[in-house]
C-alpha cells in the first residue's frame, strides 16, 4: 500500500502511465455505476445516429472517478482530493485505449500545515488529450499526519 508523503514529491515528478482498453462493458458499467441512464452511454445506435459520434463513450462522472483512482493509486489512501478541475476536449469511446499521465506542478504547505500536491493529469487516446485535469490533493507531511482528519478551518481545499 502506497503512503506518499510531501517530502517525497517534487515539481516535475511524473506519475507512472496507466493504460486501459475501453470496452462496451467499461462504458456501460461506468454509466450504471454513476446512475446515468442516458442512451449515448449504452446504445451504440443512438450514439451514432443521434449524437453523430463513432460509438458509446464514457460519461463525465465516471471519468472523474477514473482520474481520482489514478491519483490515489499513486498517493495511497491518505491522499485526499481537495479540488479537481476538468477540461473536456473529446470523448473516450468504446474500442479506445485510454492512457492516464500525470506530472507534479506544485508542492506546498498551507498556513494550517496541510501538505498539498498539484498534478496535471490527462487522459490521452492515440496521443491526443481527451480530458485534462488539474488535481490538487492533500498528502501527509509526515508519518503521523492524516489529511482526512482535517475539518473546518483546518481544511482549505
Partner 1 sequence: MSDLPGIVESWIGQRRHEEDGEFDVERGFVLTGCSSVENGNPLYWDEKVANEISGGWIAPPTMISVWCRPHFWAPYRDEEGLALRTHFDLKERLDCPEAIMSADELIFYEPVRMGERVKQYQILQSVTGPKTTKLGTGRFWNIQVGYENMKGDLLVREEIAGFGYKKEG
> Footprint of partner 1 on this chain (CB under 8 A)?
1, 26, 29-30, 32-37, 60-62, 64-69, 72-73, 77-78, 80-88, 146, 148-149, 151, 155, 157
DSSP-derived secondary structure letter, 57: B
- Nearest approach, Cβ of 65 to partner 1 (angstroms)? 5
Rank residues 10 and 87 by Cβ distance to partner 1 and give the closer one.
87
Minimum separation from the CB atom of position 16 to partner 1 (A): 15
DSSP 148: G
Our CB check for partner 1 shows the closer of 48 and 72 to be 72
Taking the complex as a whole, the smallest distance from the CB of residue 30 to partner 1 amounts, in Å, to 5
Q: How far is the CB of 120 from partner 1 (least distance, A)?
A: 14
Q: Using the structure block, give the residue that is written with the C-alpha cell 446512475.
A: 35
Amino acid at each position: 500500500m502506497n503512503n506518499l508523503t510531501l517530502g517525497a514529491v517534487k515539481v516535475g515528478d511524473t506519475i507512472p502511465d496507466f493504460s486501459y482498453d475501453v470496452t462496451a462493458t467499461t462504458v456501460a458499467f461506468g454509466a450504471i455505476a454513476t446512475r446515468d441512464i442516458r442512451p449515448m452511454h449504452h446504445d451504440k445506435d443512438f450514439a451514432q445516429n443521434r449524437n453523430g459520434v463513432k460509438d458509446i463513450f464514457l460519461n463525465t462522472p465516471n471519468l472523474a472517478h477514473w482520474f481520482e483512482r489514478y491519483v490515489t493509486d499513486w498517493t495511497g489512501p491518505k491522499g485526499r482530493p481537495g479540488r479537481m478541475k476538468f477540461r473536456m476536449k473529446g470523448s473516450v469511446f468504446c474500442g479506445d485505449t485510454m492512457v492516464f499521465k500525470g506530472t507534479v506542478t506544485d508542492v506546498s504547505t498551507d498556513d494550517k500545515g496541510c501538505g498539498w500536491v498539484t498534478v496535471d493529469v490527462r487522459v490521452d487516446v492515440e496521443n491526443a488529450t481527451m480530458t485534462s485535469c488539474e488535481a490538487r490533493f492533500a498528502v501527509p507531511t509526515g508519518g503521523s499526519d492524516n489529511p482526512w482528519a482535517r475539518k473546518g478551518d483546518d481544511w482549505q481545499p
